[in-house]
Structure 1
Amino acid sequence: MSSPEAGPDPVVVIGAGPVGQTAALLLARWGVPVTVLDARPERDAVGSKAICQQRDVLDVWEAVGAGRLIADPGVTWERARTYYRDAELFCLTFADRGRSPFPPFVNVSQSHTEQVLDQRIAATRTIEVRWGHEVTGISQDADGVTVTCRTGEGERRVRAPYVLACAGARGDAVRRTLGVTFGGRSFDDQFLICDIRADLGEWANERRFYFDPAWNPGRQVLIHPCPDSTYRIDWQVPADFDLDRERDSGALDRRIRQVIGDRPYEVVWSSVYRFHSRLVDRMRVGRVLLAGDCAHLVAPFGARGLNSGVQDAENAAWKIAFVLRGWAPPALLPTYEAERSAAAAENLAVTSATMDFLVPHDEPARQRRRDVLDRALTDPAARGQVDSGRLAEPYWYVDSPLTTPHADRTFPGRPPRGEAPPVVPGVLVPDAPVTVPDEPGVTRLRQLVRDGVLVLTSEATDLLDALVDAARPAPVRVLAIPEIDPTGLLAGALEARAGEAMVIRPDGHLAAVVRSDDMAVSAAVRRALGLTLPRQAVVPPRAGEEARAG
Structure 2
Amino acid sequence: MTTAPWTGEPVVVLGAGPVGQTTALLLARWGVPTLVLDRRPARDRIGSKAICQQRAVLDVWESVGAGRRIADEGVTWTTARTFHRDAELFSYTFADSGQPAFPPFVNISQTRTEEILDECIAAQPLVDLRWGHEVTAVEQDAAGVSVRLADGRDLRGSYLVVCAGARCDELRKLLGVRFDGHSFDDRFLICDIRTDLPGWATERRFYFDPEWNPGRQVLIHPCPDSTFRIDWQVPAGYDLEAETASGALDRRIRAIIGDRDYEIVWKSVYRFHSRVVDRMRCDRILLAGDAAHLVSPFGARGLNSGVADAENAAWKLAYVGYGWAPDALLDTYHAERHAAARENLEVTTATMDFLVPPDEERARHRVDVLTRAATDPAARAMVDSGRLSEPFWYVDSPLTTADPSRPFPGRPPRGQVPPAGPGVLLPDAPVAGGRARALARDGFLVLCHGNTPVPVSGPGPVRSLALADLDPDGTLTAALGARPGEVWVVRPDAHIAAVLADPAPADVDAALRRATAADLAREAKLVS
TM-score after normalising by structure 1? 0.93
Mapped contact 2:326–2:521 kept (Cα < 8 A): no
Matched, 1:401 2:389: no
2:350 is paired with a residue whose SS is helix
Instruction: Give how far 1:534 is off.
Output: 2.6
Counterparts of 1:248-259 in structure 2 under 5 Å?
248-259=245-256
Give the CA deviation at 1:127: 0.7
Q: Secondary structure at the match of 2:518?
A: coil
Cα distance in 1 between the residues matched to 2:361 and 2:464: 58
Given residue 207 of structure 2, which amino acid in structure 1 is its aligned partner? Y
- Structure 1 residues 19 and 5: alpha-carbon distance in aligned structure 2, compared to 1, 3 A threshold: closer
CA distance in structure 1 between the partners assigned to 2:187 and 2:131 by the alignment: 33
- The residue aligned with 1:167 is 164
**Deviation, structure 1 residue 221:** 0.4
1:271 to 268, 273, 281: 268
How do residues 451-530 of structure 1 correspond to structure 2 at under 5 angstroms?
Answer: 451-461=442-452, 463-464=454-455, 467-468=456-457, 471=458, 473-514=459-500, 515-530=502-517
Deviates more, 1:303-312 or 1:211-220: 211-220
2:145, 2:160 within 8 Å by CA — same for their partners in 1? yes
Distance 1:172 1:536, change over 3 A: farther
How is 1:211-250 mapped onto 2 (pairs within 5 angstroms)? 211-250=208-247
Unaligned runs of 5+ in 2: none
Q: Provide, for residues 355-381 of structure 1, a one-character-per-residue CA deviation record: whole Å limited to 9, x for no partner.
A: 000001222221110000001111000
Paired residue type of 2:359: D
Q: CA deviation at 1:536?
A: 9.2
| Matched letter for residue 26 of structure 2 | L
> Offset at 1:284?
0.5
Letter in 2 for 1:109: S
Q: Deviations over 1:69-98 (max 9, x none)?
A: 111111000000000111111101111111
Amino acid at match of 1:323: V
Picking from 435, 444, 450, the partner of 2:441 is 450
Shift of 1:177: 1.4
Query: Which of residues 386, 389, 394 in structure 2 aligns to 1:392?
Result: 389
One-letter code of the match for 1:285? C
Contact 2:216 2:233 in 1 (8 A): yes
Work out the CA distance in 2 between the residues paired with 1:415 and 1:133: 44
Question: Secondary structure, in 3 states, of the residue corresponding to 2:252?
Answer: helix
Partner Cα distance (1:289, 1:461) in 2: 40
Secondary structure, counterpart of 2:431 in structure 1? coil
* CA displacement at 1:463 relative to structure 2: 2.5
3-state SS of the aligned residue for 2:199? helix
> Residue 521 of structure 2 aligns with which residue?
534
After TM superposition, give the deviation of residue 537 of structure 1 in Å. Answer: 9.9
Q: State the 4+ residue runs in structure 1 displaced beyond 4 angstroms.
A: 3-6, 535-538
Note the 1:269-418 alignment, pairs <5 A: 269-418=266-415
Shift of 1:280: 0.5
What SS does structure 2 have at the residue aligned with 1:155? Answer: coil
8 Å CA contact retained: 2:85, 2:209: yes
TM-score, length of structure 2 as denominator length: 0.97
**For residue 427 of structure 1, what is the aligned residue in structure 2?**
424
Question: Who is 1:112 aligned against?
Answer: 112
**Aligned-partner Cα distance in 1 for 2:144–2:404:** 41
| Aligned partner of residue 506 in structure 1, secondary structure | coil
| AA partner of residue 496 (structure 1) | A
Q: CA deviation at 1:6?
A: 5.5
Which amino acid is the alignment partner of residue 391 of structure 1?
A: L
TM-superposed deviation, 1:461 = 2.8
> Tell me, which stretches of 5 or more residues in structure 1 are unaligned?
436-441, 539-550
- Residue 54 (str. 1) matches residue 51 (str. 2): no
In structure 2, the residue matched to 1:542 is none
Q: Which amino acid aligns with 1:265?
A: Y
SS in 2 for 1:270: strand
Q: In structure 2, what residue type is equivalent to 1:98?
A: G
Residue identity over aligned pairs, in percent, reads 66
Letter in 2 for 1:46: I
Q: CA deviation at 1:161?
A: 1.2
Q: Distance in 2 between matches of 1:265 and 1:474?
A: 55
Whether the 8 Å contact between 1:136 and 1:177 is mirrored in structure 2 is no
- Encode CA deviations 1:132-158: one digit per residue, 9 max, x unaligned: 1111111111111111111xxx21111
Q: Given residue 534 of structure 1, which amino acid in structure 2 is its aligned partner?
A: A
Number of residues of Structure 1 aligned to a counterpart in Structure 2: 522
Tell me which moved more, 516-525 or 217-226.
516-525
Q: Aligned in 2, Cα 1:260/1:5: closer, same or farther, shift over 3 Å?
A: closer
* Secondary structure in 1 matching 2:412: coil
Contact 2:19–2:306 (Cα < 8 Å) also in 1 = yes
Superposed displacement of residue 483, structure 1: 0.6
**Cα distance between partner residues in 1 of 2:487 and 2:230:** 48
Q: Describe the SS at the equivalent of 1:533.
A: helix
In 2, the alpha carbon distance for the partners of 1:447 and 1:282 equals 31
Look up the SS of the partner of 1:120 in the other structure: helix
Structure 1: distance between partners of 2:285 and 2:4: 20
| Alpha-carbon separation, structure 2, partners of 1:537 and 1:458 | 35
Cα shift at 1:392: 0.2
Give how far 1:8 is off: 3.0
Post-superposition Cα deviations, 1:274-320, rounded to whole Å, max 9, x if no partner, equal 10000001001111000000000000000000000000000000000
* Secondary structure, aligned partner of 1:333: helix
